[in-house]
Amino acid sequence: MMTFREKLFKHVYAQEFSVSRVLYQQETGHHSLIIFENELFGHVMALDGIIQTTERDEFIYHETLAHVPLFALGSAESVLVVGGGDGGILREVVKHREVRRIVQVEIDSAVIEMSKQYLPNHSAGAFDDPRLEIVIDDGLRFVRQTEERFDVIISDSTDPEGPGEALFTAEFYQGCHRCLRDGGVLVTQNGVCFLQLEEVRATAAHLKNYFRDYHFFSAAVPTYVGGIMAFGWATDDAVLRDVSPDVIAERYEQSGIKTKYYNPAIHHASFALPQYVIDAVDGLRNR
């Protein structure tokens, strides 16, 4: 049987997936894209040799990154999704009835089209939502040039290499700040913090220059080896990180949204970080 071997970290982790069959494989112009079937994880997508998402555990990542900012804000009408071509973030965002407009900026249209065909459960029809506008463009260029303002920005990027590198720069975070409405929230994919702590430090160093409140929240996603995944959090309204459990629970119940991972208890627990992450972030706050 064929295998797919992911080697992301030097000297340590490699993981292999058995490949029941290759569903799609192509050089897209931006990425080396493969979608294959695995008996345990279902359909699996990898870009440039790195696993991006699987049918089995994607809900943990997508529900956390989407619902934490949306339930914290409680009244988001406009959402910008940068990246996220597989449609998982979009699937969760469209569940929020108060959201009236969604813009998704994806650099590679092939990722969207192949995800619709081979990972249809990720988007679950969300690409057909009438509130959505898809923009095929570079995310950094978009946030620097758009005249629109958003309540929530979700950066669902690849790792900071290749096309995804620009979405971890000071210029990107500055651009996000300029197109956030007052009191809006930016959240970002920020890697597996035990093995990618420098990404956390680098992101915090950038965010502190543009936002009054910055922090991280987390979830453990089995596919992403090495421990918990960190998500960046940035806003000018520090109250949003401390919305009471009762308020989050009320919003969740009234929404009628069904989830497999996220719930009000998870919402608050996700902001509890290991001490080594707190030390890394607090070390920057004190400079």
Same domain, yes or no: 269 and 157 = yes
Same domain, yes or no: 135 and 47 = no
DSSP state of 194: T
If one counts the domains in the chain, the total is 2
Structural domain boundaries enclosing 249:
58-285
Same domain, yes or no: 26 and 86 = no
pTM: 0.94
Q: What angle do CA 210, 270, 65 make, to 5 degrees?
A: 65
Same domain, yes or no: 47 and 62 = no
Pair 123, 115: CB distance under 8 Å: yes
What is the domain-level CATH number for residue 18? 2.30.140.10
User: Residues near 246 by Cβ (< 8 Å), separated by ≥ 6?
Assistant: none
Q: What is the pLDDT of residue 48?
A: 84
| 3-state class (DSSP) for residue 192 | strand
Same domain, yes or no: 274 and 188 = yes
Instruction: Write the pLDDT tens digit of every residue in 100-139.
Output: 999 999 988 888 998 999 999 999 999 999 999 999 999 9
Q: Which residue, among 190, 184, 192, has the nearest Cα to 150 in the 3D structure? A: 184
Q: What percent of the chain has pLDDT over 70?
A: 94
Q: Which residue, among 233, 266, 270, 232, has the nearest Cα to 252 in the 3D structure? A: 266
How far, in Å, CA of 120 to CA of 86, rounded? 9
Q: What is the pLDDT of residue 159?
A: 67
Helix axes 197-207 and 170-178, enclosed angle (nearest 10): 50
Which sign does the torsion angle of CA 41, 107, 186, 205 carry? positive
Return the active site residues. 156
Instruction: Write the pLDDT tens digit of every residue in 138-162.
Output: 999 999 999 999 999 999 986 655 5
What is the domain-level CATH number for residue 163? 3.40.50.150
